[in-house]
Structure 1
Amino acid sequence: MRRLGSIKQTQLDKVGAERRASPLILHRAMLLLAGISILALALVHYGIALGLPPAVSVKSAQPDLCALAALALLAIGAAPGPSASFARRCTALCAAGLAVMVTLGHCADRLFSVSQTANVAPQLGDMSAPDMLAFVAWPVGVLLLAIGEGLLLCRLRPGRATLWAAALWSCLPLIGFAIRFDHFQTASTLLLAVSSLSIAGAALLSGVDRKPRTAPADAVGNQLMAMSDIGFDLLTGLLTRNSFERFVETQTATQSAAMMLVDIDRFRAANHVLGNKVADDILIEIAKRLRALAAPHPVARTGSDEFAIFCHPIAEDAAQAKAQQLVATMARPFALSDGRNFYLTASVGLAHSATDGVGDLRDAADEAVFIAKNQGGNQAVSFLRTQHDERIERVGLEQDLYTAFRSDDELFLVYQPIISLRDHSVIAIEALARWQHPTAGLVPPSRFVGIAETAGLFSGLGAKIRELAVRQVAAWRDSGITNLPVVNLNISPLELSRADVPGTLSALVDRYGLERSTFCLEVTEGAFADEDASRALQVARDAGFLVAMDDFGVGYSSLAQLPKLPLTSLKLDRGFLSLARNGDDGISLFATIVQLAHVLKLPVVAEGVETPAELAVAADCGCDFVQGYFFARPLSPAQMELCLRSATELGGPIRLISPPLIPGRAGMSATCTTGTTGAPILSCTI
């Protein structure tokens, strides 16, 4: 995201021009006055009368060419203005240093001359205080000016104080001239003091802040300007994030304050399309709209396309109404310089102090704007404690998933059988993940699978599930079980397109010495809409794995594409069973899809069979296999092993049996029931 827009291009023509112009004009005026005074002083030095009384003090107090040179160098030292470059400031610093050298050389020469002249030495010792003051007036003034300019050019704090001291010192000859002290009643004294004062003023003005600020348009502007170190955004003139936060901290906590955060939707794309210049113009217009709508409350620019408004005092319903107005205001078109209209929307997060559990207003508003963005934007969302708690829980589970991937004590698998309608044998089992959280208990897959997908953790979760499944099949084989079923593994389309699932799974299966045909990759129709995922499935099929399309009929299904897909079976979504129960048309559609799959030599699995009526529909329509709670809920590895071991011992197909109650994980228990077909049915409650 862009930081503060095109600052270099906008700070001269868009903000703060008036505040920069005043010190610059005064600075130039002071330099002009200093130049005129130095020129006049030169004329006086060369004997051109100005109508003022001649000097009455000692001749050593009269400025000569050294004084003129020092003042001219000091004028150069004060010449860099508020926006001076580094090179100009270095040049000015050198000029100030030369002025010091000239002055010190002049003073040394004077003192040496006085000490070598016998008739002058007694006179110097007999000087009165005014005489001595006149004698050192301009050397001390030049030294103070030079030191102050040097410190200021080096951006050291004592510089301004030294310049103020030089200005006060320059006022002494002026005061003496005004009250007609004889020692100061000369033209050179007057011009020297005016020159020094002008140079001191120019030097002070040259140290004005080079980052000018614009005054806020809000009614609270006077209060804000009184705060120390307050800052304004150079592009929009709004408060900066830091100054806004400092202002909010100064407000007394009440039950009638609200914070609104405004995030412009998809502004980065607009910036890329329109360019920085036009995007800056839009940001300036956004700032104007926000100021007009929020007045008299302060508005800040807290990010490149993020703004904040603090309303105090304001009722909760009034704050909600204003948040809705913000959404409508941002939806109005923005007129571009070429006559076109450009449309943007905004997400607004509102937090009011009267809301239960709101806590820090800024954090609560940030929570609300995050929800607004996740829900598609162009809306205002008010903070609710329940939403906050859900997000905290979600973030906590997301972090705990990292630990679960690295542990064998939390994630585990259960297996739901897929039953053949021909003889009610188990021809495959689907591996389903479960998470036994150490404190939250059993977390349902609908909860943690969604978290893994949105957090980009699904590859880790999928890899862990596949590893557990392969290890379990290898353990069954090593325990003497020879009649192993096909194990269906659910694969995310996103994971297929980003990770080498066929390669890593092949390496894992080969490491344990298992047949690749023992495993079937179950994918939803979305995988075939992604070219990378579709290619990965073809690689998996060529490597010897089975491939099944899960939930056929609810996503991107296309009958014309079925012959081209690397499938070994087709699983029909439960919705077809529900449709078939509603009338003959649904049954006809179900049967037609089954027949089409058979034409393509694809076995069909009916998912979600839970009642005898649904089982009858699946059988009548020609389905080969069924899966659902009517036959069995997901079984634990121990329960599944009983079925497999029985089949191995009897030498026949795998069938569901009624084992004794098996202690399960997280409250899992097994009970035996009997289905309408007479076959024993295992019902596992989780």
Structure 2
Amino acid sequence: MRQEEKRTIRTAILGAILFLLIQIFHTPLERIDDWDLISALYLIAGCCNIAFGFAIFAQGWLFFSDRLSRARLYASALFLGVCIFDFLHTLSFVGIPWISSFVSPEESLWLLALSRLSSGLGILFIFSRVDKPVSISEKGKVFRIALLLIVVSLVIFLFGHSIIPQLLSQEWMDSLKRLVDMAVLFIYLIGVAVIVYPGKVEKSASMLIIIRSLIFFALGQAFFMNPLSVGDVDPLFGMVCSGVAYYLLLTGVYRLTIEEPFHEKQQVEDRMNYLAYHDDLTGLPNRRNLMHRVEEMIMTAVGEKDSNQGFSALVIMNINHFKNINDSLGHYAGDHLLQKVSQRIAIEARDNEELFSMGADEFAFLMLERASLEGCMIRASELLQLFEIPVGLESGEYHISLSLGMSIYPEDGDTAEQLIQNADTAVHNAKDQGVEIRRYMPAMQMKAKERLKLENDLRRALERKEFYLVYQPQVNLETEEIVGMEALLRWNHPKSGLISPVDFIPIAEESGLIVPIGEWVLKTACLQNKLWQLAGYRPLCISINLSMRQFLQPNLAGKIGMILKDIGLDPCYVDLEITESMTLDKETAFEQLKRLKELGVFISIDDFGTGYSSLHYLKNMPIDRLKIDRSFVSDVMNDTNNAAIVSTITSMAHHLKLKVTAEGVENKEQLQFLRQQHCHDAQGFLFSKPIRAEEFEIFFLKQPLLGMPS
């Protein structure tokens, strides 16, 4: 429980105890019959009340006019009236000659009752509602209404003071007074309850102070309700309690309407400043922070040029295949992975090492005052070794790897922007080359520019009809008949000529262009297969690769179904190939595969053995075929491990009642080994390289059992 909450509870308990103790020792206290002393003390307490009340008024009328809020403005207007009534009551109650001749001490209690009734109703109205800012123009309007109400109240009091006693007996007047006092006490208690409700909502410190002021108002009212007698000290205790209540209310209103909004504004500004220089997901300093830090490092190095500061290195780290993980497992899992990675690196950071988030799946690691370039490379290698242990997520444990790019100050740049850009260029070069660590070299910049140009050209290649398809036959190893073909994409650049898919497919994936390109491949391949069937050739199944982005489209099955319907191709002659990485999110993959299977197409897992598939889920996946990756087939005769892998995959496929196709078959020894393992189909250069549709028709459709092109 917070300190302010404890203090409020203690206030209520101590107030009740104080009231009970005074009632217990009421008789000895009544023996104090020095009216001059009591009246003097009462006058002092009353003046304190008036001063605190005037301070509440001045807060809204005179001070902080540029920070007006409804609570402060209304409280200010309310206590202007309360001050006037308390002033008249105090002077008449202690017997100031001119006032007391006009209003007797007993009658002045009606002024006090009117003051307390106004304060109780006003506090209940003001602080039971949500506060909000108001304009300065509303200030004059509120105070004009307040002055009008004060004047009307005084007129009513003066009229009632002279008329009502003539209409009611003293006994009726006393009963009415007790009824009004009870109503005031009840209103204060209702105010406490309304402000506190609902109890589960945490109250601010200022609202708890206002609640404490209401408790003292109620306690003071309880003292005033005791029958008045000469020498009675109850009114004095009541006035003292009221003074405490006024002071607490002054403090609470100030904190509620000035201090707390100011602190909240400061917190918002601090939060915005924090977010401007930190990553919200990982809590690490961000790119802007890195720029400032590297600039500081450079300034320090320039200022201490004569001293031996050693090497300073900036390493940019990129999580490999993060997009596949993010797309397959979902963004929540991707965010969790980024947090785990950042924590693992941050824990291992040493003196003169700092970790930064560059956004998305990139991090920056700044190393200062290294003894040698070799030491920088060794430390970078140690960072990679941190991820030899898998990262645990809610859905399981996953092995991830990082690519690192490094720039050295001052050899690779003498500004923060240059060092960061060059390290970023190095890490992308490392990913392209399939290596773990690269230090920046000027030639990489040229390659990065070429890559950017390639992406720009790729965006226009589809509309300029620069893409075409080639087809590679798939052969049944038992009958040696052609049983299908795989459609493969090629790009004939108008200036650069043929560009390898290895170079442009990753760019298409990263840029999102793979989706329209993949749709074009699907339409073109299916249309070509239909044209061959219409030409009277034996129907064959055509294999088409799906990219990760394509596979994750929620309307993929609908799109493919519409394409097949428009072309008029039976779905049984279409084989869609996916990779193991697409099945990381088992539930999403299963639902997508189920929708595709409902179309009637075949499903194959391409490059099997190189990804993350779980055999437990594999048996339940609606798939028809496994394709053994060419990396295993190429060394099957020289590497016993590869031979064992091929044998295991083939055996497993048979037990799961799946077909198995081997890719990359290049010689008869490999072919013989695959036959011994009872592999169903194969494709590779031994049968044919991928060829255009016209050549495929001549060699494999018109005379399927004759010579095949090399």
| TM-score of the aligned structures, taking structure 1 as reference length | 0.45
Higher fraction of helix: 2
| TM-score of the aligned structures, taking structure 2 as reference length | 0.44
